[in-house]
Amino acid sequence: MVVAEDKDILKLKLKEHFGYTSFRGNQEAVIRNILSGRNTFVIMPTGAGKSLCYQLPAMIKEGLAIVISPLIALMKNQVDQLNAYGIHARFLNSTLSKAEITRLRKDCISGSVKLLYVAPESLNKEDNISFLQKVKISFVAIDEAHCISEWGHDFRPEYRKIKSMIGQLGEMPVIALTATATPKVQLDIQKNLQMEEADVFISSFNRKNLYYEVRPKKETKKQLIRFLKEHKGKSGIIYCLSRKKVEEIAQLLNVNGFSAAPYHAGLDPDVRIKNQDDFLNEEVNIIVATIAFGMGIDKPDVRFVVHYDVPKSLEGYYQETGRSGRDGLEGICLMFYSHNDLNKLEKFNKDKSVQERENARVLLQEMEFYAESPVCRRRQLLHYFGEEFMQANCGMCDNCVHPRERYDGTEAVKTVLEAAKQTNERFGLNHLIHVIRGTEDEYVKSYGHFDLPIYGTGGNEEVDHWKSVIRQALIYQYLEKDIENIGVLRLTEKGKKFLAKPHPIELARDHDFTTAIEDEEVSTERPVTSKSYDEKLFEMLKNLRKQVARQKNLPPYVIFQDPSLEEMATTYPTTQEDLAAVNGVGMGKVKKFGKEFLELIQKYVDDNDIETATEVVVKSSVNKSKIKIFIIQQIDRKVDLEEIAESKSLTFEELLTEIENICYSGTKLNLDYYIDEVLDEHKQNQIFDYFLNSETDSLEEAMADANNAEYSEEEMRLMRIKFLSEYAN
């Protein structure tokens, strides 16, 4: 065994096993502590090299090191990496067959395995405990130790039993490691593992290379596509809350020309493993995942992490963003935020116990404060984990790059601190706000707080204003959280001094996300686009459409409809693919009418030195494409329309809408076999002539025309499809 004090030998071993010439941060001190047989508690941010803290001692110490890990994906990834270094590491979990488990046990008992990764559920099995009692164990490492704490963001009940499991294996050093632990969670982990005397190593939570940004969740798919086009070819992770959303976004990205794969617990294990490996091996650039992905994934060049949905906690958010830029280079952390997401998450907690619900509510509240607060995002995150960031401007978050409006907050802070003081520092944010605003609820009544001098003095301001003041008072250290009593706020020494001798304090206005109502669906119908299009180009396109229509002896709307021209005047498509992506166009129409329009747009772009903005075009996702392909195939086979509708659980009206969308995108459909059954030739000719001579294909105008009084809306729609298929497509 290597003597812990021998610095040179430790570095030689580091170079021999892992190829590094020097340690980072606290790594060396942690490793020496483990080698000396001491219990060790390590809090180190994602990307700072936690794994090495137990992997190197495992190679140096005699015996087998057990690593308790919560995820199969994490185990596989780390074992693969260690084996690539020539280190004999294995994992024990539910994916192994009986024969594989037998071989594994034999190898562990023989001493050839140096690191064994095991899930807590597997460790809890009697036969595994009895086999490990026969093995010489060097120490136990508990990775992702925050899972132990019920106050943490990823509590797992089986983690609470780890201490008793280890106890059955004999006396040995324990190292607990986590990337995210608030002071409250740190305390809980140490108590549960009965290692209050452990040496604690806390690294800075500040990831200087990460840029943090929060955007309102509005037209999110468009925003996402635009963001990804700005970072084309780079590696990234997009986190969604539901499996359904993961699948939907992965499909959307692939349709829009990105290389993406989904990852969630509902996928077949083989598919999940393949998608993870493809991401690690750069076969795909983007992984769209639930939080099941990424724990322990050692991919250094993830350039961005996007939270499509709001995470359940700041711990989860910090850990997931920490997977970006682990090589110290660019890392962009973008979150889309809306109150609606918080409401959904609140509903998920309704079946939990009262205590769990309250814990989850506090975590969501912290998430809300972070998103809406105008304070430096880095400062907020570090404060949450018990570390203070003293710079006024980090220059690496949206709040610092685009500062919010500021105002004199001296009196507001004074009011908040007085409320805390007059209620004896025993209450949380909501109660303090009720006292300040004069809200007489049952708690205010029961404690007699309506008699306090501060009661009702802030009733002229909204709840959100006081939330913001309290949050900023916390970040600027006038208030602090009581670690022992979750949610309770107390005055700091700085706060007491301020009350004794107030001085001017500037606060900033929170972000207003109340208008961020998510426009989730990318319409496949003819959209009413915004009026922000290039009006000059729009008029030029309209004139060209008129010329083309005259040449072909067709109504102008048959060529392209106004919404399509508006979108062209917004996105400036200059290739066939870009033009086909415009709603209501499609490749069929591009081939038939597109050449002159593309030439006009290209000349206009060149003449006016315009940077094209095709990123605002978002193609429909594959799910909808599948229905369209099915409908086209069934029509080609001349299947009755009612039968097609029934097979896809659509009403006849819904089916007609789908068929119209297909038709407006330039696909030719032959519905003669069906139309001939429901309309005689004379009626067909009459409606056909109407559309041929009409200035518009508006159904309302068609139905209002006296000559069409005898026809039903369905008949008019069917003939409009026939007309457009024959003339427009």
pLDDT on residue 246: 93
* CATH number of the domain to which 550 belongs: 1.10.150.80
Task: Pick the last residue of a domain from 601, 616, 631.
Answer: 616
| pTM across the whole model | 0.62
CA dist., res. 24 & res. 48, Å (int) = 7
pLDDT band of residue 437 (cuts 50, 70, 90) is very high
Q: Are residues 607 and 650 in the same domain?
A: no
Domain count, the chain: 5
| 432 within a domain of the structure (yes/no) | yes
| 50 within a domain of the structure (yes/no) | yes
> What value does the mean pLDDT take over residues 546-569?
83
CA dist., res. 228 & res. 226, Å (int) = 6
Task: Tell me the pLDDT tens digit for each residue of 687-714.
Answer: 888 888 777 777 777 787 767 777 888 8
% residues pLDDT > 90 (the chain)? 35
Q: Are residues 449 and 589 in the same domain?
A: no
CA nearest to 215, candidates 65, 55, 332:
332
> What value does the mean pLDDT take over residues 481-486?
81
pLDDT on residue 185: 85
Q: Are residues 603 and 672 in the same domain?
A: no
Q: Would you say residue 178 has pLDDT above 80?
A: yes
Q: Would you say residue 530 has pLDDT above 50?
A: no
Would you call 207 exposed, middle or buried from its count of C-beta atoms within 10 A (0-12, 13-18, 19+)? Answer: buried
Q: Are residues 163 and 27 in the same domain?
A: yes
> What value does the mean pLDDT take over residues 481-501?
90
The values of phi and psi at residue 586, to 5°, are 80, 160
Place of tokens 């509902």: 266
The tally of CA atoms less than 13 A away on the side-chain side of residue 247 is 9
| 372 within a domain of the structure (yes/no) | no
pLDDT on residue 35: 93
Residue 174: helix, strand or coil by DSSP?
A: strand
For the ranges 27-36, 646-655, 706-715, the lowest mean pLDDT is seen at 706-715
- Do 435 and 452 touch, CB atoms closer than 8 A? yes
Q: Would you say residue 344 has pLDDT above 90?
A: no
Per-chain mean pLDDT for the chain:
85
Task: Pick the last residue of a domain from 133, 168, 202.
Answer: 202
> What value does the mean pLDDT take over residues 601-621?
68
Q: Would you say residue 622 has pLDDT above 60?
A: no
> What value does the mean pLDDT take over residues 195-216?
92
CA dist., res. 221 & res. 551, Å (int) = 39
CA nearest to 389, candidates 569, 557, 212:
212
CA dist., res. 653 & res. 340, Å (int) = 31
More confident residue, 422 or 668: 422
> What value does the mean pLDDT take over residues 362-379?
90
Q: Are residues 23 and 172 in the same domain?
A: yes
Q: Would you say residue 667 has pLDDT above 80?
A: no
- For 339-356, give the secondary structure using H, E and C: HHHHHHHHHHCCCCCHHH
Task: Pick the last residue of a domain from 569, 597, 616.
Answer: 616
CA dist., res. 262 & res. 251, Å (int) = 9
Task: Tell me the pLDDT tens digit for each residue of 206-239.
Answer: 999 999 999 998 889 989 999 999 998 899 999 9
| 353 within a domain of the structure (yes/no) | no
Task: Tell me the pLDDT tens digit for each residue of 48-77.
Answer: 788 899 999 999 999 999 999 887 767 877
pLDDT band of residue 378 (cuts 50, 70, 90) is very high
| 397 within a domain of the structure (yes/no) | no
Q: Are residues 17 and 103 in the same domain?
A: yes
> What value does the mean pLDDT take over residues 338-362?
80
> What value does the mean pLDDT take over residues 418-437?
94
pLDDT on residue 519: 45
Q: Would you say residue 419 has pLDDT above 80?
A: yes
* CATH number of the domain to which 678 belongs: 1.10.10.1390
| 81 within a domain of the structure (yes/no) | yes
Q: Are residues 273 and 287 in the same domain?
A: yes
User: For the chain, how many residues are written?
Assistant: 729
Domain of residue 151 covers: 7-202
Interacting residues of 44 by C-beta distance below 8 A, sequence separation 6+: 25, 26, 50, 53, 177, 179, 201, 202, 203
Q: Would you say residue 715 has pLDDT above 70?
A: yes
pLDDT band of residue 555 (cuts 50, 70, 90) is confident
Q: Are residues 79 and 214 in the same domain?
A: no
| 514 within a domain of the structure (yes/no) | no
Q: Is 225 left (phi over 0), alpha (psi -120 to 50) or beta?
A: alpha
CA dist., res. 123 & res. 105, Å (int) = 13
CA nearest to 569, candidates 521, 617, 523, 524:
617
pLDDT band of residue 551 (cuts 50, 70, 90) is confident
pLDDT band of residue 524 (cuts 50, 70, 90) is very low
Long-range contact set of residues 107-114: C-beta below 8 Å, sequence gap at least 24: 108/64, 108/132, 108/135, 109/134, 109/135, 111/63, 111/64, 111/136, 112/88, 113/64, 113/88, 113/89, 114/58, 114/59, 114/64, 114/65, 114/87, 114/88, 114/89
Q: Are residues 453 and 469 in the same domain?
A: yes
Q: Are residues 169 and 244 in the same domain?
A: no
| 401 within a domain of the structure (yes/no) | no
Q: Are residues 471 and 547 in the same domain?
A: no
pLDDT band of residue 260 (cuts 50, 70, 90) is very high
CA dist., res. 80 & res. 456, Å (int) = 62
> What value does the mean pLDDT take over residues 571-589?
82
Q: Would you say residue 4 has pLDDT above 70?
A: no
Long-range contact set of residues 416-419: C-beta below 8 Å, sequence gap at least 24: 416/466, 416/469, 416/470, 416/473, 416/478, 416/479, 417/473, 417/478, 417/479, 417/491, 417/495, 417/498, 417/499, 418/453, 418/454, 418/499, 419/454
CA nearest to 444, candidates 115, 436, 14:
436
* CATH number of the domain to which 110 belongs: 3.40.50.300
Going by the DSSP 8-state scheme, the letter that residue 260 receives in this structure is E
pLDDT on residue 116: 95
CA dist., res. 361 & res. 359, Å (int) = 5
Q: How far is CA 686 from the centre of its chain?
A: 54
Highest mean pLDDT out of 27-31, 533-537, 603-607: 27-31
Task: Tell me the pLDDT tens digit for each residue of 72-125.
Answer: 767 877 888 888 888 899 998 888 888 999 999 999 999 999 999 998 888 888
Q: Are residues 678 and 608 in the same domain?
A: no
Beta partners for residue 174, in sequence order: 140
- Do 3 and 12 touch, CB atoms closer than 8 A? no
pLDDT on residue 612: 62
Hey, CA dihedral for 315, 517, 216, 527, is it positive or negative? positive
pLDDT band of residue 729 (cuts 50, 70, 90) is low
Q: Would you say residue 496 has pLDDT above 90?
A: yes
The C-alpha angle 141, 144, 147, rounded to 5 degrees, equals: 115
